[in-house]
Amino acid sequence: MQSLQNLKIPEVRESWYRVNQDRLSPELHKKFVQLHPDEETKVFLSNSIDKSSWVWTQIWYLLAKAVLKHFWSITDINGWLGRGSMFVLSEAQVRQLLQNSPRKPNDTRLGALVDVGAGDGEVSRRFANLYSINYATEISASMQKTLAKKGYTLLDTDDWWREQQFDCVCMMNLLDRCSKPVTMLKQAHSAIAPGGVLVIALVLPYKPYVEVTADHKPEERLPISGMTFEEQVTSFVKFMRSLGFELSSWARAPYLCEGDFAQAYYWLDDSVYVFEPAAAAPDT
């Protein structure tokens, strides 16, 4: 992750959303949605900067983490402390991405959304207002409590996809942090209602890290290749097509995280996609 405190923020923020379109196929070029930093993004950054200067709060975080890391995962610790919130897309940016999908967002809310591996729910909360009913799955017990307080209906992490279908399945920065991403994508295909979509955020370059496995490596690895951001996007979209998904739209955006004493906020490069199920998925 990179620090932005000493950089010219307006220029850097615009670069978060740009790609080299000369490296894209005609299809990817056509379906690319150029986003820009908006007010909701700026509010998140401003709040992160403010929180990083809360001296006693940051000291408490450091002390609590030093003790609890011997017993809990970092995700559980962040859930208990109520820190480490993330931001990818604002509601307005999601509306832009969904303009090419079968059901366009308008004044009518769109049905049911499930955020798979939701964390504290902050990433999907920023566009959950588009949907009437909001579900979530999460393995962290402390994060489950946070989600319940925010009004999410919690579903079983193994069987969430079996009992019902959803108008939107969200996997926001999950596929590089779970052990079986291919299996989860196949499950998502089964769980999407007619006219529904799969929204994915994936950090590139692809470097999977799984918190809950002994060696922190996934049991399944996504077959993503390429050296540049654009080459890896191309590879991922091709793989998704092999699973029965067609690309509706995509964008580049920053994966922002609240900071600490060292940095006011952190960021990674996210590729964000809206897919539609176009064919039967392989057996799960």
Q: What pLDDT score was predicted for residue 283?
A: 62
- Report the chain's C-alpha Rg in angstroms: 18
Paired tokens of 261: 């004493």
Is the pLDDT at 52 greater than 50? The verdict is yes
pLDDT, one tens digit per residue, over 106-142 is 645 678 999 999 888 888 877 777 888 899 998 887 7
3-state SS, residue 20: coil
Q: Among the listed ranges 33-42, 78-87, 265-274, which one has the minimum average pLDDT value?
A: 78-87
pTM of the entire predicted model: 0.82
Cis ω on the peptide bond leading into residue 205 (within 30° of 0)? yes
Q: CA dihedral defined by 125, 131, 133, 139, rounded to 10 degrees?
A: -40
Tell which residue, 280, 230, 270, 275, has the closest CA to residue 248: 275
Residue with more model confidence, 74 or 143? 143
Is the pLDDT at 9 greater than 60? The verdict is no
Could you say which of 3.90.650.10, 3.40.50.150, 1.10.287.130, 1.10.287.3510 is the CATH number of the domain covering 9-277? Answer: 3.40.50.150
pLDDT, one tens digit per residue, over 149-193 is 888 999 999 999 998 999 999 999 999 989 999 999 999 999 999
Across the range 236-264, mean pLDDT stands at: 86
Is the pLDDT at 62 greater than 90? The verdict is no
Three-state SS sequence of 195-222:
EEEEEEEEECCCCCCCCCCCCCCCCCCC
Per DSSP, 99 falls in state G
Q: What pLDDT score was predicted for residue 284?
A: 56
What residues does each domain of the chain span? 9-277
144: confidence class by pLDDT, cuts 50, 70, 90: confident
282: confidence class by pLDDT, cuts 50, 70, 90: low
- Alpha carbons 105 and 113: distance in angstroms, whole number: 13
